[in-house]
Chain A
């Protein structure tokens, strides 16, 4: 029965296809002549077409909130990139070229350019931060599992507030930077790496270790953000040359410094109550 077999195995090559998150790619083949009765096979075909319609609707509604194909760009990383980027986040002083390479009007995947933002490091750093916070609380006998959820949700809330504030100020200053909201989430998530280093130092070496390493990471993330955002926000000013000192450019410079300065503040705010 070709009709039922075709309805069961709809080819997923059309560009308007729902994101393939929930597809079952386990069994390679389905037994063909499953039901000999024509009415049952019609019912099976109708059922499978209903199921695929439902999956499309779910996929479309997910796609409206979270652009899954766009997200895949931020996860196109590999181990070498992650290693180099972590080193860059902790020591950005010697890096010279901060421009993201482009390829036919779209930025290159993070795997090929260390300057491109990614979402793997922020997500993993966020989760590791929540776990290390739980560990820190546990060594002070202040731990209970619901505190893990509390830490996670408060850190997430601060992240969302920070991204919204930066988006709002970018809108008010009317900067036409190619900074999407997901880029901002990625940049804001990079400070968690410094926070984890500071917390681990606090666990191993006490308060002095915590303050030393945290200040180092604060300076590092400040320099990193300034150099990355300068290329995006001040792109037009850079094109005009070093003498382009209009009021708008000054405003943009202040904005860049403010966004970069917000990071060390938040790093301290979210960690100091965990270290004794």
Chain B
């Protein structure tokens, strides 16, 4: 403090830097210089909640799982909600794709006759098909972004995954013509549901004279997946 007062009082002549003599300041031993320095933290402002590094991992996982589950519900009952579009995520499509690829493993992979798709083939078909549909929709002048469209197409595979589960159960019970008819009906119904659900989201972004042009590749895409499910034989 003395040094500061010195610098302030020497304002008439030479310019001395403030606190120049602080190095010379020494504190005698008997003055207690200890305590806690705390910065007063105000109430939690909403900006500080964006840092999610400090929360327990269970919270993060539960939040993502809840988001994925909510989107599943939106797909099964396609109302005019924009939750699927607004916060897109690719976790759901990944889970569904992995489930589909795992359950479509049929005969031994190296048999040369009529075998089912390999794990990687299902992945390639699903993601390459989704990318082609998205590019087509964007080139036709759609207003939906790339990842939003991928998200919608991936989530709408859910009805077909349910159909695959039902088919596997039916094949466990009986494998004759009646079983085939049941499987055909179930797969056709779920195929229609998938196509309707995804067109409800994707075709809205196009003017009405182009809706059919966007629906056709989606129809082809789910047709291929339904075909793979229908011809599945363990």
Show the binding face of A for B, using Cβ within 8 Å.
21-27, 31, 33-36, 71-72, 75-80, 82, 120, 123-124, 127-128, 131, 135, 138, 141, 143-146, 148-149
Contacts and interface: CB of A to CB of B under 8 A. Distances in A.
A72 B139 contact: yes
A131 B224 CA distance: 8
Contacts of A80: 209
A24 B209 contact: no
A79 B114 contact: no
Contacts of A78: 207, 209-210, 213
Nearest to B88: A26
A116 B27 CA distance: 91
Interface string B144-169: 11111000000000000000000000
Shortest 7 CB-CB distances between A and B: which pairs? A75-B139, A78-B209, A145-B117, A25-B145, A145-B121, A79-B212, A24-B145
A35 B45 CA distance: 11
Contacts of A128: 220
Contacts of A123: 136
Given A25-B144, A72-B141, A145 B118 contact: yes
Given A27-B86, A75-B141, A144 B115 contact: yes
A146 B120 CA distance: 11
Nearest to A68: B139
Contacts of A27: 86
B231 A79 contact: no
A21 B138 contact: yes
Interface residues of B, number: 43
A120 B223 contact: no
B201 to A, nearest CB: 13
Contact of A79 (B121, B135, B210, B220): B210
Interface string B200-230: 0000000101111100110010011001100
Contacts of A138: 227, 231
Nearest to A33: B47
Q: Taking chain B's interface residues, is the majority helix, strand, or loop, or is none over half, making it mixed?
A: helix
12 contacts: A24-B145, A24-B147, A25-B144, A25-B148, A36-B45, A75-B136, A75-B140, A77-B140, A120-B213, A124-B136, A145-B116, A146-B121
B47 A26 contact: no
Contact of B213 (A24, A26, A79, A148): A79
Nearest to A144: B115
Nearest to B125: A145
Nearest to B114: A141
Interface string B115-139: 1111001001100000010011011
Nearest to B124: A149
Nearest to A121: B213
A143 B141 contact: no
Given A127-B132, A127-B217, A131-B224, A21 B121 contact: no
Contacts of A26: 85-88, 145, 147-148
B86 to A, nearest CB: 6
A239 B212 CA distance: 41
A25 B143 contact: yes
Contacts of A144: 114-115
Given A22-B146, A79-B210, 5 more contacts: A31-B47, A33-B47, A35-B47, A79-B212, A127-B217
Nearest to B115: A144
A141 B113 CA distance: 8
B145 to A, nearest CB: 4
A131 B86 CA distance: 33
A131 B148 CA distance: 26
B223 A131 contact: yes
Contacts of B50: 34
A123 B140 CA distance: 13
Given A26-B85, A36-B47, A120-B140, A143 B114 contact: yes
B130 to A, nearest CB: 13
Interface in B42-63: 45, 47, 50
Interface-central residue, A82, A135, A138, A144, by most chain B CB under 10 Å:
A144
B181 to A, nearest CB: 19
